[in-house]
Structure 1
Amino acid sequence: MSRFRSLLLLGVLLAAAPAARAQQPGKLTISGYVRDQATGENLIGVAVMNPATGQGTATNNYGFYSLTLPAASDSLRLFVSYLGYEKGRFAVKAERNVSHDFRLRPLSAEIAGVEVVGAKEEKIAQSTRMGTINVPIAQIKTLPALFGETDVLKVLQLLPGVQSGGEGTSGLYVRGGSPDQNLILLDGTPVYNAAHLFGFFSVFNADALNNVELIKGGFPARYGGRLSSVLDISMKEGNMQEFHGEGAIGIVASKLTLEGPIKKDTASFIISARRTYIDLLARPLINLALANEGIPFDERPTVGYFFHDLNGKLNWKVSRRDRLYLSAYTGYDKFYGRYNDKNDDGTYYKENDGLGWGNLTAALRWNHVLNDRLFMNTHFTYSKYQFNVGIAQETKLLDNGQPRVEKFALRYLSNIRDLSLKADLDYVPNPDHYIRFGGQYILHSFRPGALQVKGEGAADIESGVQTLASEASLYAEDDYRLTDRLKVNAGLRLNSFLVDNKVYPSVEPRLAARFLLTEDWALKASYARTTQYIHLLTNSGIGLPTDLWVPATAKVKPQRAQQLSLGAARSLQHKGEEYELSLEAYYKPMQNLIEYREGASFLGTTDSKWQDKVTSGQGWAYGAEVFLQKKSGRTTGWIGYTLAWSNRKFAELNQGQLYPYKYDRRHDASLVIVHKFSSTFTLSGTWVYGTGNATTLSEGRFRLAPNEQYEEYGPRNSYRMRAYHRLDLDLSKTKKKKWGEVVNSFSLYNAYSRRNPYYMYLARDYDYQTGQNKSVYKQISLFPIIPSFSKSFKF
């Protein structure tokens, strides 16, 4: 650790030395928070400017700002701007450091319009960041959704560089990476499985969320642990002014959110719940089908599925300098079956089957303003993901006329748990520097397979291996304006991973630069080295809960990657409306990726021999992205296009030859349009197109014996499915009420009923012309056109 401390100290000194030289007498610092006047919510990324000097800053992820300026002879003026809010102004005598909180008043929807992406006021051409997009929650709720269920992850799939795994799925495949390479954070806590119902819905209830930020490249040093992306989601903090609620009733689920002050301007709460009623809707249909089969009511099995989510948060303003937050999330999916067979002699057989999986997260956060230029956020978090499948049987028998009951239960489970302590500090010595530094410690617990057996007359059995691992990280970075045209973000991240007496250190330099050609045109470049110490074992690739998390070990090395990005960005206005254009190209080599060996499976294994069932290899992802968005006006939206390649090479797979990744997609395009006819009617539509996924298909079948049939497969992922394209539409009507508002939404998923491929297989069909069987490839498609209706409300 001495080496890490030395490197961290060196990084901090390198970042702080220019800042120290820049500090001179005759300066003062203005700092504070920027909040929503109506709710008290902290606003993220608000631009705070001094018009006299042109210098400025932006609020951090907790709404805090600090701006150090030359002391003027009379007074200093600050202007605060944020799209969708009235501008804020503040004047102070230039005598001493001062604290001031801005409370911005939201504009009406007719005046503000709807912003599509990039809620932060800082123009894209001014920032050093690349591949970073903020998605407003209001926009997410406007777009069409499957079964009327608003889905954060499906909206992100409409952005360039982000692909879906297939029809209906919520998984994210970012710049040629896999879903396990995405760091998904909810209030700073990792979420390991972000999908409900095998990926058809995400776990994020949009009504409980405040901000969504996706980072695809040019990762700042404060983020680490994954190779492909960071999805940073923050929950609402709860209204500190008055009690409010909102909810929705849809075809498959309903939800309700309540928030309000515990003590006005001091403490608040928010609680949000969602549950499906697929099981309740399907039960009458199942009973009808069983009745038609002649099965008595008391002998009919009960089968069903549901999922639920529950979010909660407490927010306490302890003092002007201190604030505490306690947030939690729990979500669970469950398939269940119950069977009951009774006999006239009093004997019976009962069976309960279950398949379930879910997340549990909790976070305690302390914000502390150390001084006018130094802000600290301390995080203590807990995260757990668990999958389990089980069967419980109970049988009543007559043994020589005497009743006897036998019980048997079997349960297979896997889980991953994290305990983490993290401290982040923001130091703003002057407008030319924004320095961040901090550290994190994570205790991982992996239990990828455990078998529990209980039975009458035998000892209980429990097998499985639990592996503990610790991960420590330190980082420092500085967003430094070298000249009026050149700005850089330079950082260094140091990691150490300890598992079974094996230590894996890593040094990760991070660099991003922006050069202004004009005030609205910029060239950008970034480089990031990343390390990932955990792997996801999967056979399906579609986010099944049976996918298992395992750590790097002495045999299985951590994943590593480097990403180089080059691009250009432009901000422009036309007829008073804002547009942004970004062009980016990237190259990302990856090492120590793992896959199952041919024919291997991990399900049911309860020991550490999984390491012998995997093989490691390399990957390469590269491509270019174009993103044009219209950010304001009655009509908003964007056009996105990605040209990409993603390949893999494993010595023990595909005869050691290079092959395309399963989700290698050459062309990917999206079109999103939202038009606000008035304050009452809004029409939105999305259209997506993508090259078909690569897959491995059987090229023929042959028999060695009457009951032994073998499949002959071609090269790995050598077959392309048909191209995927789909149009979704949504029309919503808002009605104002004395107590609030009601929004009725009608949507069409897959409006022209395209039969998109979900799965393909080789089948034998009879040819009536030749009188012989022939081999044909067949396609399975999931969703035709699906109309849906939902009613949402606010009060």
Structure 2
Amino acid sequence: MRIHVQTILLCLFFINNLWAQNGLERYTISGYIRETGSQEALIGVNVYLPGTTTGTTTNTYGFYSLTLPAQDSVRLAYSFVGYEMAGQAISLRTNQTVNIFLTPGRSLAEVDVKAGRLTEKVSESAQMSSIEIPVSQIKKIPAFFGEKDVLKVLQLMPGVQKGSEGQTGIYVRGGGPDQNLIILDDAVVYNASHLFGFFSVFNGDAIKSVELIKGGFPARYGGRLSSVIDLNMKDGNREKLHGEGGIGLIASRLVLEGPLTKNKKGSFLISGRRTYLDILAAPLIRAQSGGSLTAGYYFYDLNAKANYDFGPKNKVYLSGYFGRDRFYANDKTADTDTGLSWGNATGTLRWNHLFNQKLFSNLSLIFSDYKFQISSVEKSTQDAETYSLYYNSGIRDFSLKYDLDFYPNPQHSVRMGIQSTYHRFTPSAVVLQNASINQSINNVNNIDVLESGIYAEDTWRPSSRWRVNGGLRLSYFQQKDVAYVRPEPRLSAAYILKPDLSIKASYALMNQYVHLLSNTGIGLPTDLWVPTTDRVKPQQSQQVAIGMAKDFTTGGSFTNGLTLTVEGYYKSMSNIINYKEGASFLLINDPTSANSVRWEDNVTAGRGWSYGAEFLLQKKVGRFSGWAGYTLSWTQWQFAELNGGKPYYPRYDRRHDVSLVGIYDLNKRVTLSAVWVYGTGNALTVPVGRYETYRPSNALVYGGTPGIVQSFFQNVRTADDYGTQKNSFRAEAYHRFDVSIQFHKQKKHHERTWEISVYNLYNRRNPFFYRLESVAATSTTPTRTALFRYSVFPVVPAVSYNFKF
């Protein structure tokens, strides 16, 4: 590692000297940009020379660097959504360190929007297919049961499909749920769902920023085909102790943050959230069972983070997440205990080092662990037998990551780095014990693999009209004697036709070495993570996109801060895997044989393709904000051993998808918001008919008359006929309307907010699943079989109380 780092630094020094040989004396302005009152580092702040296209943005840690020609006086502007703009006059005759503090709140006024750009214009960025949503906006959007959810807000964006009613599953541009790289402070989160997918694991009060990338992926990201969801936790308040939280119908949460030491060089943050569904339901369950049954479900999660500055050039961050879902049932009558639990644990230790004003580095040690467990214990007091069954699966990662940010001049912003991850997969771990016969079986099937990558990318401004981000990632994977080395070129470019209007294009090749096996397609915890092996190849995708971007920076108060993006894309995917017909990795009838059957025997490999167009009109600032999104798309899969080898539409293929989101600050005390969504129904496989089978009885049954057979057949069985075409049935369209109103009040020492929200206001009975059922005969109709639609959530009102101090 040391040799590689020294080589990289030597190359950067050589490149910097070449760029400097242009006959002009140049100096560098660099520093950190933080929030006034908390010293929270701000990501993506726009730093620029007013009236020009020269500028840069802060990185993940709030650092910026801008090299300019020498001059007696230069004035830089600093702007960010949700903050008052700031300016700084500088005499540029030597390198300067300029740290800036931005004051939150005032950019909501239209006068601040007119003063200059609040973020880098979408028309001036080389990056496309990327969406950032201010966390302050997420907190104002109506939510299911009043629980603010980052992933459900992302589902409202074009190109992103939801799984089923209420689910947090993310399906991006035809990709499956395993094709999304979800990162929290550099750590991968493998299962991001609570309550069987109805809530995500991310507590919005602890999140600082969220970015979704659907295509044109920068080279620093790898390992997935469809999207990157990059989340960063808050650093913590360095000035004073601060807290915020909320009490809802099913869960409560609390965040505390403050300085670590009196010198304000460090801070901490800790947050917790827990549902109390088990406490509310326990009395009802005991009453209905006569006291013989105890059952419940709950989830909780914890976020913690600490950071400290060891001088101006070294900073250390330590962050972690731990969450768990648990369902339990104890039946005293049957003397059984049943349990189901799953959860994530992550930890990240990061060291920032500033070599000089142009070169910033970060070293990360990362841990991620996901576990799923089923337990069943059955006791018999009659013969003193005890039978225990434990089924486990999971994935555990240890990663080392080193990144460099290099800012040689305003035309170039270079990033490069290396990452290596040691994976341990446990797709099957069965423990069986039977005390009566002294039987104990412990089958653990661990798979160890190594996944690495090295990358370099450059955001380049070759002229006033061109913006280019080019890069190359080289990925490496090894599992026993199987190894893959694959290059992944990336390119995004924008051509500025005129101020505030540009056309864009991108290409990205991605490889994925881990896979998710799912029977349901809705992201349940029973889905299994498995690696590439000697029999299962890596997934690969190629995606091209073209589009246009428009910033509305002049005009009335309504259009200020408004952006419009229109994109078309085509994506092909190869070596995607799926279960064979009727296959399941969890062998219910004979779980002890799971170790003797390789999971590869139950899967089949195929290909897929997706194409479509996306429209997004977004406004992040002003008294009225929100967005309108529309997606037109087609997605198909093809497997040799499924659907007779013919292409078919996967479950989450949707032809049309519409989302309208509006937020209006009526005044300082009242905020109104509403969401309306519409989507073409899911593609499903449902029975097309039902037939009956009969089995002869073991003995003849005679009636009252000797020798006359009354009944010869018994045990009538029914079976459903699913036809020959997979997912040939299209569910009814999905649509709903959500509203909320927030009442804010600023007290002397704290702020409180009451929120009243209604999910599915007009009580649309959206389909959750379909089933064939028999309809009894009437006086006018015979007995018949009909397809019934079942819904889950009618209109759902919610009330929550939120506070800050």
**Where do 5+ consecutive residues of structure 1 fail to align?**
342-348, 399-404
TM-score, normalization by structure 1: 0.93
Aligned residue for 2:424? Answer: 445
Aligned residue for 1:70? Answer: 69
Aligned residue for 2:801? Answer: 791
Aligned residue for 1:198? Answer: 196
Alignment of 1:450-469 (within 5 A): 450-456=429-435, 458-469=438-449
Residue in structure 1 matching 2:310, options 307, 318, 324: 318
Question: Is the counterpart of residue 754 in structure 1 residue 764 in structure 2?
Answer: yes
Question: Is the counterpart of residue 307 in structure 1 residue 295 in structure 2?
Answer: no
SS of residue matched to 1:660: coil
Aligned residues: 768
Aligned residue for 1:238? Answer: 236
Letter in 1 for 2:774: R
**Per-residue deviation, residues 469-500 of structure 1 (Å, max 9, x unmatched):** 00110000000111110111110000110012
TM-score, normalization by structure 2: 0.92
SS of residue matched to 2:139: helix
| CA 1:756–1:196: 2 relative to 1, 3 Å | same
- Assess if the C-alpha contact under 8 Å between 2:270 and 2:304 holds in 1: yes
Superposition deviation, residue 221 in structure 1? 0.2
**Per-residue deviation, residues 605-646 of structure 1 (Å, max 9, x unmatched):** 335611011111000000000001123221111110000000
Aligned residue for 1:188? Answer: 186
In structure 2, distance between residues paired with 1:114 and 1:397: 78
**Per-residue deviation, residues 341-368 of structure 1 (Å, max 9, x unmatched):** 5xxxxxxx74321100000000001111
Aligned residue for 1:429? Answer: 408
Letter in 1 for 2:496: L
Alignment of 1:508-519 (within 5 A): 508-519=488-499
| CA 1:88–1:752: 2 relative to 1, 3 Å | same
In structure 1, distance between residues paired with 2:181 and 2:22: 37
Residue in structure 2 matching 1:580, options 559, 563, 570: 563
Question: Is the counterpart of residue 382 in structure 1 residue 367 in structure 2?
Answer: yes
Alignment of 1:198-597 (within 5 A): 198-263=196-261, 264-290=263-289, 295=290, 297=291, 300-341=292-333, 350-396=335-381, 406-456=385-435, 458-573=438-553, 574-576=555-557, 577-597=560-580
Aligned residue for 1:128? Answer: 126
- Assess if the C-alpha contact under 8 Å between 1:198 and 1:542 holds in 2: no
Superposition deviation, residue 454 in structure 1? 2.9
Aligned residue for 2:635? Answer: 646
- Assess if the C-alpha contact under 8 Å between 1:124 and 1:570 holds in 2: yes
In structure 1, distance between residues paired with 2:29 and 2:266: 25
In structure 2, distance between residues paired with 1:240 and 1:727: 41
Superposition deviation, residue 394 in structure 1? 4.2
Superposition deviation, residue 136 in structure 1? 1.1
Letter in 2 for 1:596: Y
Deviation larger for 459-468 or 144-153: 459-468
Aligned residue for 1:346? Answer: none
| CA 1:513–1:559: 2 relative to 1, 3 Å | same
Question: Is the counterpart of residue 721 in structure 1 residue 757 in structure 2?
Answer: no
- Assess if the C-alpha contact under 8 Å between 2:108 and 2:622 holds in 1: no
- Assess if the C-alpha contact under 8 Å between 1:465 and 1:607 holds in 2: no
Aligned residue for 2:648? Answer: 659
Aligned residue for 1:59? Answer: 58
**Per-residue deviation, residues 739-765 of structure 1 (Å, max 9, x unmatched):** 111100000000000000010122221
Superposition deviation, residue 46 in structure 1? 0.8
Superposition deviation, residue 397 in structure 1? 5.0
- Assess if the C-alpha contact under 8 Å between 1:511 and 1:526 holds in 2: yes
SS of residue matched to 1:493: strand
In structure 2, distance between residues paired with 1:739 and 1:413: 49
In structure 2, distance between residues paired with 1:180 and 1:584: 24
In structure 2, distance between residues paired with 1:89 and 1:13: 31
Letter in 1 for 2:443: S
Residue in structure 2 matching 1:777, options 787, 792, 797: 787
- Assess if the C-alpha contact under 8 Å between 2:320 and 2:347 holds in 1: yes
- Assess if the C-alpha contact under 8 Å between 1:521 and 1:570 holds in 2: yes
Letter in 2 for 1:623: G
Identity %: 48
In structure 2, distance between residues paired with 1:391 and 1:704: 34
- Assess if the C-alpha contact under 8 Å between 1:627 and 1:640 holds in 2: yes
In structure 2, distance between residues paired with 1:543 and 1:696: 18
In structure 1, distance between residues paired with 2:99 and 2:597: 55
Letter in 2 for 1:137: V
**Per-residue deviation, residues 223-268 of structure 1 (Å, max 9, x unmatched):** 0000000000000000000100011000000011100001142111
| CA 1:152–1:25: 2 relative to 1, 3 Å | same
Residue in structure 2 matching 1:672, options 661, 675, 697: 661
Aligned residue for 2:712? Answer: none
Aligned residue for 2:702? Answer: none
In structure 2, distance between residues paired with 1:284 and 1:387: 28
- Assess if the C-alpha contact under 8 Å between 1:15 and 1:478 holds in 2: no
Superposition deviation, residue 378 in structure 1? 1.1
- Assess if the C-alpha contact under 8 Å between 1:763 and 1:776 holds in 2: yes
In structure 2, distance between residues paired with 1:145 and 1:274: 16
Letter in 2 for 1:598: E
Question: Is the counterpart of residue 681 in structure 1 residue 670 in structure 2?
Answer: yes
- Assess if the C-alpha contact under 8 Å between 1:128 and 1:513 holds in 2: yes
Deviation larger for 327-336 or 571-580: 571-580
Question: Is the counterpart of residue 737 in structure 1 residue 737 in structure 2?
Answer: no
Cα root mean square deviation, aligned: 2.4
**Where do 5+ consecutive residues of structure 2 fail to align?**
588-593, 696-715
In structure 1, distance between residues paired with 2:53 and 2:599: 59
| CA 1:54–1:487: 2 relative to 1, 3 Å | closer
Aligned residue for 1:46? Answer: 45
In structure 1, distance between residues paired with 2:170 and 2:782: 44
- Assess if the C-alpha contact under 8 Å between 1:19 and 1:430 holds in 2: no
Superposition deviation, residue 461 in structure 1? 1.7
Superposition deviation, residue 538 in structure 1? 0.3
- Assess if the C-alpha contact under 8 Å between 1:120 and 1:134 holds in 2: no
Deviation larger for 280-289 or 485-494: 280-289
Superposition deviation, residue 464 in structure 1? 2.6
